[in-house]
A = this chain, B = another copy of it.
């Protein structure tokens, strides 16, 4: 059960930008803002198998623009979930690896993934029913 202690709306509720209409340090918000985006979960999944370099990550994740992959990795690095190691070589080689913190995120994601695997059919069925009943997507 989700309590208001951990999913707390910001009591000051003023005028602000996207993604910060909450207590900026609401733990669940911080985590959802990180793994809720388009590529982060996929990148963590890929890196859970071990060290990968930039191009390997691109291939593993499939179809990410380099700019976006860089953004994703920078955010993960910034949050202490991934380490970035530049090897002094020609051609350049940069390795990415999950930190202990990053690896520990695997468990909660797996729980979510398991729920998703089990119940996605129900969601899609409900979606179809809703569309059939209302005519709206």
Contacts and interface: CB of A to CB of B under 8 A. Distances in A.
Interface residues of A, number: 68
Identify whether the interface residues of A are mostly helix, strand, loop, or mixed: helix
Contact of A38 (B19, B38, B79, B105): B19
Contacts of A111: 107-108, 111-112
Copies in the complex: 2
A101 B116 contact: no
19 contacts: A7-B45, A9-B62, A11-B62, A21-B38, A21-B64, A25-B124, A27-B116, A27-B117, A28-B109, A28-B116, A28-B117, A30-B124, A32-B35, A32-B36, A78-B126, A81-B123, A101-B122, A104-B119, A108-B112
